[in-house]
Structure 1
Amino acid sequence: MIEVLNGGLIVSCQALDSEPLHGSEYMATMAVAAQVGGAVGIRANGYSDIKRIKERVDLPIIGIHKKHYQGFDAFITPTKADAQLVAEAGADIIAIDATSQSRPEDLQDLIHFIKNNLNKILMADISTLEEGIKAESMGCDLISTTLAGYTKETQNTEDGPAFRLLNSLVKTLTVPVIAEGKIETPEDARKALEIGASFVVVGGAISRPQEITRRFVKGLNKYETSHRN
């Protein structure tokens, strides 16, 4: 399955409760559009979305379950129960928060459960080189830059995609490294592959039309401001 994804684009089809396209049917339709456009895989959140997308597209699915537990920072598939839901929904790969953030369950126990009880390929979402090294040593199959810039430790460390981290991970690890996070253009995606990413995950730049619209509006506002001055 990793060979199928190699060199390709995975589209993250997610919408929060507050977003206009929230809902499993909307996300499944978005996944269909991504497949038509040439995506080799989908990343999706939650049992309902994953299950419906699995019914609509014939692509590998990276599944997560975002859930906040009071008193803890890790929220991407942070417990065995969350991972179980993702597996039951039909995900082919399960992604988890493998950062050093506080978590409701022991990371090694979670990894062992996914690998040995659920028999799923495991992606570790990390934010630093040290976290990537640790995740590989614990048995994770894929390491992704997903959370670079989003943890307390890494806020404001890189402007845009975490290319420096990606480069360090590729040079250090033996498992495939995935580029995800703040990738907004085809040029960003191509650069990630040139650095050595096995494949690229893109979310908001493709599947969040309100964010795409905001970027265009921001660009127009800058133009108007410059011409007024």
Structure 2
Amino acid sequence: MKQEDFARQVHGGLIVSCQALTGEPLYSETGGVMPLMAKAAAEAGAVGIRANTVRDIQEIKAVVDLPLIGIIKRDYPPEQPYITPTMKEVDELIKTGVEVIAFDCTLRPRHDGKTTTEFIKEVKQKYPDQLFMADIANFNEAQQAYEAGMDFVGTTLAGYTAESAHKPGPNYALIKKIVAAGIPLIAEGKIHTPAELKRVIDLNPVGVVVGGAITRPLQIARTFTRVFASK
């Protein structure tokens, strides 16, 4: 898939992140849960899916005909990046045929010792026909990743790193700045309500991802139970 084709397919619609990590109520050793989430998202009108792990991606692709942003979350301590952090994870994702592969493009130290720019160039050289998305936390990271050759950037990690502003909701100022710079943006992160989504849409990113507010029932339920706790 070409960059403009993916952008055209997701613009003006919602990409739903369907993920569950070990220890979360919807995590299953045997699978079968995330494709149900993806199917529900598709029936609701989603235009794309973001998914974690080869197994979940393959299961989701079997039940929905939507473009996927694929990642593999894997820890390599003591370094912090864990979203598709090395070439090993990229190689695994390539085999799934996923339309877009996203990986950490923050400027934090990497497990492989490479700079972010070095890794981007290595990945683009190895897989020149694959679309890639840079998960970033601030404008400098977005600009550097795009200039190094990334097809899209995503505000996925904004507010989750020491190098980014921590806000309770979406970082609208960051989204606006990236869009104004002409960088193809997939807005993502801390979009909790339809009202917040509307504000993000008005900033005109290429696409928008919403995850926890839709597909993480523990997180959703806590937004209600906390009301009782605060009484």
TM > 0.5: yes
Residue 20 of structure 1 aligns with an amino acid whose one-letter code is P
Aligned counterparts, 1:7-26, within 5 A: 7-23=12-28, 24-26=31-33
Query: Aligned in 2, Cα 1:55/1:109: closer, same or farther, shift over 3 Å?
Result: farther
| 1:124 aligned counterpart, secondary structure | strand
Runs of 4+ residues deviating >4 angstroms: none
Q: Is the 8 A contact 1:54 1:90 kept in 2?
A: no
Map of 1:57 onto structure 2: 64
CA RMSD between the two structures: 1.4
Unaligned 5+ residue runs, structure 2?
1-5
- Aligned match for 2:42, one of 35, 47, 65: 35
Measured after TM superposition, the shift of residue 65 of structure 1 is 0.7
Contact 1:64 1:94 in 2 (8 A): yes
In the alignment, the residues of structure 2 paired with residue 154 and residue 124 of structure 1 have an alpha-carbon distance, to the nearest angstrom, of: 15
Which region of structure 1 is more displaced relative to structure 2, 198-207 or 146-155?
146-155
Q: Distance in 1 between matches of 2:164 and 2:184?
A: 22
Q: Which residue of 1 aligns with 2:3?
A: none
2:133 aligned to which of 97, 103, 123: 123
TM-score by length of 1: 0.92
Q: Does structure 2 retain, via aligned residues, the 8 Å contact 1:78–1:103? A: yes
Which of 104, 129, 139 is residue 149 of structure 2 equivalent to?
139
Q: Map 1:43-192; keep pairs closer than 5 Å.
A: 43-105=50-112, 106=114, 107-118=116-127, 119-154=129-164, 156=166, 158-172=167-181, 174-192=182-200
Q: Give the % identical residues.
A: 42
1:108·1:138 contact (CA, 8 Å) conserved in 2?
yes
**Secondary structure of residue in 1 paired with 2:83:** coil
Residue 13 of structure 2 is aligned to residue 3 of structure 1: no
The Cα shift of 1:170 comes to 1.1
Moved more, 103-112 or 83-92: 103-112
Is this contact kept in 1: 2:120–2:145, CA < 8 A?
A: no
Deviations 1:172-218 (A, max 9, x none): 2x231121010011111111110121211001000001111111111
- Report the 3-state secondary structure (helix = DSSP H, G, I; strand = E; otherwise coil) of the residue aligned with 1:89: coil
Q: In 1, are the aligned partners of 2:143 and 2:183 still within 8 Å (CA)?
A: no
SS of 2:70's equivalent in the other structure is: strand
Unaligned runs of 5+ in 1: none
Per-residue CA deviation, residues 149-189 of structure 1 (Å, 9 max, x unaligned), is 11122253x231111111111112x2311210100111111
